[in-house]
Amino acid sequence: MGQTFNTQVYDIVRRIPAGCVATYGQVAALAGRPRNARMVGYALHSNPEPGVIPCHRVVFRDGSLAPGFAFGGPGRQRVLLESEGVAFTEASQQGNAGADGPRVDLSRCQWQA
């Protein structure tokens, strides 16, 4: 019997190395369901092993962070990513990202699965 979609998502996210991020769409495509980025978000929100499955390493396609990161509140995702050496765009490092908030520099940090 095959894996459930959520199990596939968790297996993929476990492989994202520290210092790298993947997008929700990238994880969905790797799970064989490229149009299900939103379902990746639902799966990660139900993360059965916080701290083991590094859901903080998954970001939106523009590099923006989840506004209400489920495992520690707003700002925690950025703290976790920065502690791993993930780079943010110059504007967000200076606090000038605007209403959209900080963005990961995907050109430097996106996981090449």
DSSP state of 58: E
Catalytic annotation, residues:
55
Q: 22 φ, ψ to 5°?
A: -130, 160
d(CA 103, CA 98) in angstroms, rounded, equals: 11
**Side chain identity, residue 49:** E
Helix, strand, coil: what percent of the chain each, to 5?
A: 40, 10, 45
Structural tokens at position 24: 């929700």
Q: How many CB atoms lie within 10 A of CB 68?
A: 9
